[in-house]
Structure 1
């Protein structure tokens, strides 16, 4: 009888007692090098011509391979060898429509995860990868082709993208033209592009030009040669479709006026006249926006205005700064309005930012009624109609293209008043006031309604939540928050309200509130989320790409203003550290604006070029006398 060489596993009863007690515990091992070893083994089998079980015939040439390796590599071979097709039983398989060299290149990738491209083989490899469905190789081929892109081969690239149905290649060619538009629009290749393609390019917000005048000239270049334009051999009496895509309202007024005066009656003159009319209606521009008035920019930035700096409470900022999206650091944007301000109500309507009321602290604590509007397209300030009542420690929200300034205080009394601003008529009117006074609260908009949270009433810190419906002009009480606080901030992300920062005296003295609460408007319920890493009282707040930026403010735990920035990711329920502010500051008015491309690209030199323009509406009706605070005990509670 042959000897039995089977190995009998040890019985668990014979294991030491300590190991028996841990026998139910499992542990998983994952090798970091196994995948590479497997690939090396497959290459060794291929180089040794071992275990080949299929032959691919490409351009009448034979390529041997392993069926299982091919099936595991892509959907094309998986369907061929596992989908019930006749190739499942064939040892020799014909592959049509693919070049032999390209197939060898793809097989090298299958076995080694590496592929080498050249100008000689890239198009054939791209065709092969498209047929066999290798997304990685397709993208690499597109990247390789566009690295050689110039105005001489743009048309060929578009044709290749169309033939192979490669939208990613078309997008990359579009990107090249948009980035080099000023030069490309003067080339012969530009004039050979289909009209629909040029319309698409001229409609893009990503078109990189220094001014809209370049777009106007490019529209003419499509129809006429540079020589014809220079010799004024241009007929503008017939409608030219591309001219309808020029954003004439973005041109400066004097440029438009000069062009208008040179033109006889024609469709172009009507377009220019319409743009001049837009310029003349400066007060109403925020509600006259259209695709033709939008900035050609993809840069959405967090922007801060004003604020109060340490160490002196009288040190008030007149600087506006923005977080550079590429450099990830704070840069100067513009100089703010005439008076140095802090704790202003801030709202954005169609990329115009409004700064409403607030604190003018240059001569003691004084509530403001003055209001300003900033247009980042032209770096222009415009003073709008003042509030009917002075508001400090208030909040401002935008709803249905109107602004609402809600409650606060004027340092002689606390307020219930709510004022509504109509940008079309530049006028304020009173709407239904709050039932009780509140100041140092925060506001945000969700699903067509305004919500205000917490705040102060007399000496009491609140955890109330109120909701305003503009359709009924009524306020409604909602579920109280989980913690009382004031001088905090609130933001909307995915229809949820997040209440962040501030302070209270629940411990018997003024302390930071680190607890962050989230309100669900559908269920009228509150939950706690990840707490703040550090205190933020009177911070600036802005939401960019569903992330909440909390800027500076006071920490009562540390008894100082702060320069730190924290960023909350609601999806991950996680706080991250952002770029520090230049100085310790509280009372910032923060928002998100689309800023000019030239500002971002030329950030290093922009501060010397970007001088703001101020416009004051004539006959503004407000009392210029400032009331000084007789609330001495509150003067230091910001």
Structure 2
């Protein structure tokens, strides 16, 4: 009896065996059969994006050379969604597509598909996403859906309690997002502390604003970049006074530890710029320096603690209007003559791409927020009436603009500070904090709470605040003069990030 060597057997099972043991050189295309349907797919795409196929093609087994593979645990709808996502699309999915897409990413291990599902979680599909993802063990999606549900718990409470008990308990164990605000302040001195230099949160149970933490003395929020990334507050730049001398350091507040720390500022000193937190990075966009508008854009990678320049804006711009929709960065650039262009930054290509142009006579984009696959652009009202805001909605999926009904004035809160949480939009002014419910082509007032009684520009954002970080009897913004408990400060950001 002739016994083949191991090398010979491997060669027989996989004729195109590569130089590296256990690796094959498979044919370029593969026919994938699911039920009565079949798809011809580039093997390179499958290998680069699916852990299942990568392991299969590198196994050294006969299957890595087959021209056709039958998949038993994946549905046609889910596989089609996967192909669309790997092709660069951002599809909005039906319930059946969601279930099969979760099944597909669970079985084939497709990070890009999981990420897309996370990006499209909304009030209509969050319960389905949560339950299905938990069933199939897609942890990232399950957790993201649970966080979304936690933020809308009051509105979804009845539906939530139809879920298995363990899933309900997990949602209830999570921290909800709080509506936050900080005014523009110049640096202070240790001898002359400004007790209004605080970061505040909205106590929705008592409908009033309360102080969370004080700004470090050397921090400036005047003309600064303010953003939240991974539930940490970053303040970059800002100016000292009317001389517009830029603060060179950046500051980071970690609510979990209730500490402030410093980070290095951007390479290009700038003020009046936009700061965006996205996928482990901060983006400092445009702004001004020495009275000149900038087109440069810098990216700060938290993991490395370093700044680097990326593709510049199509034109110099300060106070760039921005929003993140479906985990995609969008900005507005005013082109004059009533034209407002929306551009998307595609990080994979390091490119700014023109998405659409809104043309409204004697008007320009003032602010922008995102809800589901819609971008809401607020602009000044007719006849240059800056006390009124009107809105236009751009749907990313259909590529269509819709004029929103109604006008929104300062009596109901300033839309220039709008923040979206679930199906709600929070706005504020000195007189009133307003929560709107987003309806089709209209925002309906849901409730009104106490205003933010501070002067100056206001930055608003969302953060999840640990219970230990928020005093049970937290003081309101009207009681600041009685507060002396400053948070701990660390000069080394790396210690607290």
The TM-score bracket by the shorter chain reads 0.5 to 0.7
Give 1:593-612 correspondences, 5 Å limit.
593-600=463-470, 602-604=472-474, 611-612=486-487
Query: Which residue of 192, 206, 209 maps to 1:327?
Result: 206
Deviation at 1:428?
A: 0.7
**TM-score (norm. length: structure 2):** 0.56
Matched with 2:154 is: none
- Aligned 8 A contact 1:344 1:589 in 2: no
Matched with 2:189 is: none
Matched with 1:452 is: 331
Query: Which residue of 460, 463, 469 maps to 1:590?
Result: 460
Bigger Cα displacement from structure 2, 363-372 vs 321-330: 363-372
- Aligned 8 A contact 2:311 2:350 in 1: yes
Deviation at 1:414?
A: 0.5
- Aligned 8 A contact 1:418 1:430 in 2: yes
**Number of residue pairs matched?**
317
Deviation at 1:206?
A: 4.9
Deviation at 1:584?
A: 4.2
Matched with 1:480 is: 357
Structure 1 residues 543 and 604: CA distance shift in structure 2, 3 A: same
Matched with 1:564 is: 432
Structure 1 residues 487 and 476: CA distance shift in structure 2, 3 A: closer
- Aligned 8 A contact 2:285 2:320 in 1: no
Residue 287 of structure 2: SS of its match in structure 1?
strand
Matched with 1:341 is: 221
Deviation at 1:383?
A: 1.2
Deviation at 1:454?
A: 3.7
Matched with 1:519 is: 394
CA offsets per residue over residues 507-561 of structure 1, 9 Å max, x none? 4x67345111211122333212244431477933322223121233xxxxxxxxx
Matched with 1:574 is: 443
CA offsets per residue over residues 271-296 of structure 1, 9 Å max, x none? xxxxxxxxxxxxxxxxxxxxxxxxxx
Q: Higher relative contact order by CA 8 Å / sep ≥ 6: 1 or 2?
A: 2
1:353 and 1:451 map into 2 onto residues whose CA distance is 21
Deviation at 1:492?
A: 1.3
2:326 and 2:235 map into 1 onto residues whose CA distance is 23
Deviation at 1:438?
A: 1.4
Deviation at 1:569?
A: 1.9
Matched with 1:56 is: none
Matched with 1:234 is: none
Matched with 1:614 is: 489
2:451 and 2:307 map into 1 onto residues whose CA distance is 35
Matched with 2:373 is: 495
Residue 392 of structure 1: SS of its match in structure 2?
coil
Query: Which residue of 243, 263, 285 maps to 1:384?
Result: 263
2:161 and 2:401 map into 1 onto residues whose CA distance is 44
Deviation at 1:356?
A: 2.5
Residue 397 of structure 2: SS of its match in structure 1?
coil
Deviation at 1:376?
A: 0.9
Matched with 1:550 is: 427
Matched with 1:404 is: 283
Deviation at 1:298?
A: 2.8
Deviation at 1:420?
A: 0.5
Q: Which structure has more strand as a fraction of its residues?
A: 2
2:161 and 2:419 map into 1 onto residues whose CA distance is 33
- Aligned 8 A contact 1:387 1:428 in 2: yes
2:339 and 2:224 map into 1 onto residues whose CA distance is 21
- Aligned 8 A contact 1:308 1:342 in 2: yes
CA offsets per residue over residues 307-334 of structure 1, 9 Å max, x none? 269xxxxx99521110013212111111
- Aligned 8 A contact 1:443 1:490 in 2: yes
Residue 514 of structure 1: SS of its match in structure 2?
strand
**TM-score (norm. length: structure 1):** 0.44
Matched with 2:56 is: none
Deviation at 1:390?
A: 2.4
Matched with 2:132 is: none
Q: Which sections of structure 1, spanning at least 5 residues, go unmatched? A: 1-166, 175-196, 208-296, 310-314, 553-561, 620-638
Give 1:266-345 correspondences, 5 Å limit.
297-307=174-184, 318-338=197-217, 339-345=219-225
Matched with 2:83 is: none
- Name the Cα RMSD after superposition: 3.7
1:600 and 1:530 map into 2 onto residues whose CA distance is 39
Deviation at 1:337?
A: 2.9
Q: Which sections of structure 2, spanning at least 5 residues, go unmatched? A: 1-159, 187-193
